[in-house]
Each structure stands twice: as structure tokens, then as C-alpha cells.
Amino acid sequence: MLSFGERLDRVFATRGQLCLGIDPHSFLLAEWGLPDTAEGVREFGLRAVDAAAGVIGIVKPQVAFFEQHGSAGYAALEEVLAAARAAELLVIADVKRGDVGSTVAAYAAAWLTPGSPLEADAMTVAAYQGVGSLAEPVAQAMAHGKGLFVLAATSNPESVNTQTALLDRGEFEGMTVAASIVAGVDELNAADHLGSVGVVIGATVTAADYGISAGRLAYTPILAPGFGEQGALVADLPDLYAEVSGNVIANVGRSVLRAGRDGITGELARQAAELREVLAR
């Protein structure tokens, strides 16, 4: 069995580093002529998967938009996840779950267990309760060739004060909260190839402001939202992430989805080619 890090490495080599966020916002559903119902988000998700298949290698469904429709929304999501995995897309479930003990273990089981109805390849998680609270999800990810992405430095301005707070005790005393999460994750990853536990660092944040050093990211996959309508340019990725650019999953959402159901494939191909070109320089 390959680890998630190894699978990600292969996808990067064959399909590139672009990821499509599957975000059925109300306004996008309206633009696509779909209702804001479980049936609408299902249709939206399946079309986004079709558009991405064969063009890029990674998709990231935003689970909140499915959850809004209750169990029917989850049934729609199950179809979207299955279609994406059948199309050999690597699927990151953007759920930002977090808890402790047997509860966070249940969340991990929901998304990372082979054969479970909501099986994905990786999930996003929050570590407000400490990186140590994620021990169970980490163990499950390792056991099943799955991945995790832990929120570290996010792109919304309201997050800065919390994420730059300085640890006053423990192994990472003196580091910012964000840097301590990056360091905690670094310790979980192997030291000679891309690991299976990643972090989320928004494309519009400056990692140095958080005291995050590139050395602590050497083997860590980085999920980077913030490209496109949130302000960062795919062409700037090598400048933004410097020596760890090769570890970055560049997520694009609205800037592609607004191209409409018939325009997505073309826009994805264009952005994927652009990203490949700037990374090859």
C-alpha cells in the first residue's frame, strides 16, 4: 500500500499541483441554473468532477455546502466522492473537523476508512485542541494510506491574532500557534519523502509573519487556498512558497467555477498549464 504522501507525489508528477475546490455556493448554483437543494449540489459536484477528470489530479469538496441540506446533502456528497475517486482524482474532504479521543477518532473513521460511505483520500482538520488531539486521525491515516491537512495559517484576516499568539510552555515554547502546529506536523512526517500529514497555509498569508520556517515544511504537503478570487495568483506560487513550492496544492474555486459548467475544463487546463510552467522555471 502506498502512503498518502507517496500517492500525492505521483499525482504532482503526472497531473500537477492544481486542485479544484468543489464549492456549491448559492450564487454559483444560480449561475449554473441549478436549485440550491440536495439535488442541485449533487449535480454541481458531479459536473465539477467530470470537468476535472483527466485534466487535473486533485479535488476538494467543501462539505459545509452539502451539510446544509442534511442527510440528503450527505447522500449527494457520497455520490460526488465516489465519482471523483472512480475518476482517479485524489479527494480532499474539506471538513475542518476537530475534537478529542474517541470523538475525533469517529470523524477520522467517517472520512478515512476504506469502504466507508464518505471515504475520501484526505481530510482537513483543526487542532484548536492541540496537535496531540489528532493522534487517532494520524494513526488511521497511516494505517489506510490516507492523509490529513491541519489548519495552520489561514487566509482570513480575523485569524491572525490567534494564530500568531506565542506559546508560553511546552516543547514549542516561544513559537507562534501556527508555527507550533507546523512543527508538530513536521515531527509526524518521514524525513526523506513527502509525508502524509499536511498543513493548510493560505496563499495570501506571509509565512514569515507567523515565524514558520521553510525547514519545518521540507516534507510536509501544503494545502493552499486563496488563489483566484481570494487574491493570490497561481503565477506567483513560486514567489509565495519559495523552496517549498513543490509541496503546495494550489486550490482554485470561484475563479474556475464561475466559468460556468461548459467553461470549467478549459479554464482548469489553462491554469494547470500556467502553474506547470511557472514551477518549471
Q: Which residues are catalytic?
A: 96
Q: Least Å distance between CB 85 and a second copy? A: 14
Residue number, 110 or 278, with CB nearest to a second copy: 110
**Binding letters toward a second copy, positions 164-183, x by CB under 8 A:** xxxxxxxxx---xx--x---
Binding-site string for a second copy from residue 31 to residue 70, where x marks contact by CB under 8 A and - marks none: -------------------------------x-xx-xxxx
Give the residue from 264, 255, 210 showing the smallest Cα distance to 234.
Answer: 255
Residue among 93 and 275 whose Cβ is closer to a second copy: 93
- Check if the beta carbon of residue 146 is closer than 8 Å to that of residue 4: yes
Given candidates 13, 14, 102, 191, which one binds a second copy under the rule CB under 8 A? 102
Q: Where are the beta strands (DSSP E) in the chain?
A: 18-22, 58-61, 90-97, 122-125, 147-153, 197-201, 222-227, 248-252
25, amino acid identity: H
Distance of CA 185 to the CA centre of its chain: 15
Report the nearest approach of a second copy to the CB of residue 169 (Å): 6
Question: 257 forms bridges with which residues in the sheet?
Answer: none
Angle value at C-alpha 127, between 124 and 49, nearest 5 degrees: 5
Distance CA 9, CA 242 (A): 18
CA–CA dist 61, 69 (Å, integer):
15
Q: Is the CB of 4 or the CB of 66 nearer to a second copy? A: 66
| Of residues 158 and 192, the one with the C-beta less far from a second copy | 158
In this structure, what C-alpha cell is assigned to residue 277?
510552467
Question: Should residue 162 be labelled a site residue for a second copy when binding is judged by CB under 8 A?
Answer: yes
For a second copy, the binding residues in 69-88 under the rule CB under 8 A are: 69-72, 74-75, 77-78
Tell me the number of residues near a second copy by CB under 8 A. 62
Nearer CB in complex with a second copy: 64/143: 64
Residue 232, classed as helix, strand or coil, is: strand
State the DSSP string of 149-160: EEEEE-SSGGGH
* CA–CA separation, 261 and 167 (whole Å): 47
- When binding is defined by CB under 8 A, the residue of 6, 46, 87, 130 that contacts a second copy is 130
Q: Of 84-92, 148-156, 216-224, 270-278, which segment contacts a second copy by CB under 8 A?
A: 148-156
Can you say whether residue 109 is alpha, beta or left, with left for phi > 0 and alpha for psi between -120 and 50 degrees?
A: alpha
Residue closer to a second copy by CB (options 100, 218) is: 100
Q: What is the CA radius of gyration of the chain?
A: 18
Residue from 154, 247, 251, 265 binding a second copy (CB under 8 A)? 154
Report the interface residues with a second copy, using CB under 8 A: 23, 25, 62, 64-65, 67-72, 74-75, 77-78, 96-104, 106-107, 109-110, 116-118, 126-133, 135, 151, 154, 156-172, 176-177, 180
